[in-house]
């Protein structure tokens, strides 16, 4: 059983509709119920700021402070984390737009929010992800990269560097007569970074597929088959340096075409994650809304299980409006699977009775108007 990472204290200051909130948690799952607009998702978002990035809403930090407050926001938690108990504080102090989020661990300022990954992993599922299978491929790549990042913290830097080299190449190709040696130098960088990036994605997909397969007969959720497509699909059995060579060739021979297109047409930035409903053998985007939701839940749970297995610590799971589309049987099965992951999870819903099957495995809190009712 993986170690349970759990929050014992959560304090918010000027965060969305919370002026100030101080919450003691007892380590069980947390069920937040309340009316629309009460602040349930805001509380989940606060917890999502315990991972690098802009949280589950992908918010601009300037939008996060409570309206009418004059500065920034802060989220403070006490956590039984992957390296023992730790106090984590994060937020902005208002001021300049676009400034990075600050992070303090045990009262000491640390340089990058990436250090959060040493203490906990946060995995979430929100209603805004419901369109994942039908939406643009960029959404699926971002989804996939988030999953990779929670296992391989280097992935973010690699992806950013690849992007930078590619933008440089695109700019250079738009010149009247670009320097071929300069292009080659950029393309070598792209090949190295792009293949490393794609490799990390392939590895995640194969690990995840294994777990989805293992959970196949476990409850009423359909299982998904995953496949990456759109970038060097047939070459991944070769050693990395050979694939780098192939990609470098593609880039060099594609210069003329890419210059005409105004962008780079081959690369990991064009790959897509293809998801199929295994039992029905049908593309996920053609499944019913309820089935898509069930597929997505299965994927998220498999990923949470993967993180727990790889790190030995169960991630904190945020499941926003999770019970809405599920019937009673599936809800009970979901709660059992969430509980079996061994971590602390936060769930929201409008109606408390939907969570009855959790029994005393969860702490029930009623959210109202930026506060918690006792």
Site of interaction with another protein (CB under 8 A): 152-154, 157-158, 161, 164-165, 167-169, 171-172, 179, 181-182, 184-186, 188-189, 193
- With CA atoms as reference, report the closest residue to 339 among 10, 27, 23, 25: 27
Q: Which is nearer to another protein, 154 or 245 (CB)?
A: 154
CA angle at 216 for the pair 320 and 339, rounded to the nearest 5°: 40
CA dihedral 306→311→316→321, nearest 10 degrees, is -10
Please state the closest distance from residue 299 (CB atom) to another protein, in A.
Answer: 25
Contacts for 294 with CB less than 8 Å, ≥ 6 apart: 220, 221, 222, 326, 330
Please state the closest distance from residue 174 (CB atom) to another protein, in A.
Answer: 9
Please state the closest distance from residue 165 (CB atom) to another protein, in A.
Answer: 5
Q: Which is nearer to another protein, 157 or 227 (CB)?
A: 157
Please state the closest distance from residue 130 (CB atom) to another protein, in A.
Answer: 34
Please state the closest distance from residue 354 (CB atom) to another protein, in A.
Answer: 42
CA distance 145 to 159: 9
- With CA atoms as reference, report the closest residue to 265 among 327, 343, 173: 173
Contact 362, 355 (CB under 8 A): yes
Q: Which is nearer to another protein, 168 or 371 (CB)?
A: 168
Q: Which is nearer to another protein, 21 or 165 (CB)?
A: 165
Q: Which is nearer to another protein, 165 or 307 (CB)?
A: 165
| Orientation angle between helical segments 289-311 and 180-214, nearest 10 degrees | 100
- With CA atoms as reference, report the closest residue to 367 among 41, 36, 33, 24: 33
Please state the closest distance from residue 192 (CB atom) to another protein, in A.
Answer: 8
CA distance 201 to 196: 9
Contact 270, 219 (CB under 8 A): no
Q: Which is nearer to another protein, 8 or 189 (CB)?
A: 189
**Residue 312 CB coordination number (10 Å):** 11
Q: Which is nearer to another protein, 182 or 369 (CB)?
A: 182
Strand ranges, E, within the chain: 3-4, 6-15, 18-24, 29-33, 74-81, 84-91, 102-105, 108-110, 122-125, 224-229, 272-277, 282-283, 313-314, 316-319, 345-349, 362-367, 372-373
Strand ranges, E, within 16-54: 18-24, 29-33
Q: Which is nearer to another protein, 197 or 284 (CB)?
A: 197
Q: Which is nearer to another protein, 67 or 181 (CB)?
A: 181
Please state the closest distance from residue 215 (CB atom) to another protein, in A.
Answer: 28
């Amino acid at each position: 059983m993986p170690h349970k990472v759990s929050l014992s204290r959560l304090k918010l200051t000027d965060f969305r509709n919370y002026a100030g909130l101080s919450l003691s948690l007892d380590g069980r799952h947390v069920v937040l119920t309340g009316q629309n607009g009460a602040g349930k998702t805001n509380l989940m978002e606060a917890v999502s700021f315990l991972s690098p990035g802009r949280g589950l809403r992908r918010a601009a930090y300037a939008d996060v402070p409570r309206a009418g407050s004059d500065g920034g926001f802060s989220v403070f938690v006490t956590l039984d984390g992957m390296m023992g108990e730790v106090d984590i504080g994060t937020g902005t102090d208002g001021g300049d737009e676009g400034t990075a989020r600050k992070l303090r661990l045990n009262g000491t300022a640390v340089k990058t929010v990436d250090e959060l990954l040493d203490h906990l992993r946060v995995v979430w599922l929100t209603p805004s992800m419901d369109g994942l299978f039908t939406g643009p491929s960029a959404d699926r790549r971002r989804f996939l990269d988030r999953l990779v990042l929670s296992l391989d913290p280097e992935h973010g830097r690699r992806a950013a560097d690849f992007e930078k080299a590619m933008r440089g190449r695109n700019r250079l190709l738009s010149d009247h007569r670009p320097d071929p040696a300069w292009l080659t130098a950029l393309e070598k960088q792209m090949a190295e970074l792009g293949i490393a990036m794609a490799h990390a994605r392939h590895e995640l997909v194969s690990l995840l597929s294994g777990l989805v397969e293992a959970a196949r007969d476990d409850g009423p959720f359909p299982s998904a088959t995953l496949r990456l497509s759109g970038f060097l699909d047939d070459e991944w059995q070769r050693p990395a340096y050979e694939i780098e060579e192939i990609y470098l060739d593609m880039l060099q021979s594609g210069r003329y075409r890419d210059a005409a297109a105004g962008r780079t047409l081959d690369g990991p930035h064009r790959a897509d994650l293809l998801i199929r409903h295994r039992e029905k053998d049908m593309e996920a985007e053609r499944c019913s809304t309820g089935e898509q939701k069930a597929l997505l839940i299965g994927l998220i749970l498999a990923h949470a299980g993967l993180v727990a297995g790889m790190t030995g610590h169960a991630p904190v799971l945020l499941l926003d409006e999770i019970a809405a589309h599920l019937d009673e049987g599936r809800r009970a099965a979901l709660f059992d699977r969430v509980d079996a992951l061994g971590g602390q999870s936060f769930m929201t819903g409008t109606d408390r009775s939907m969570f009855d099957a959790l029994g005393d495995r969860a702490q029930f809190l009623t959210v109202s108007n930026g506060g918690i009712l006792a």
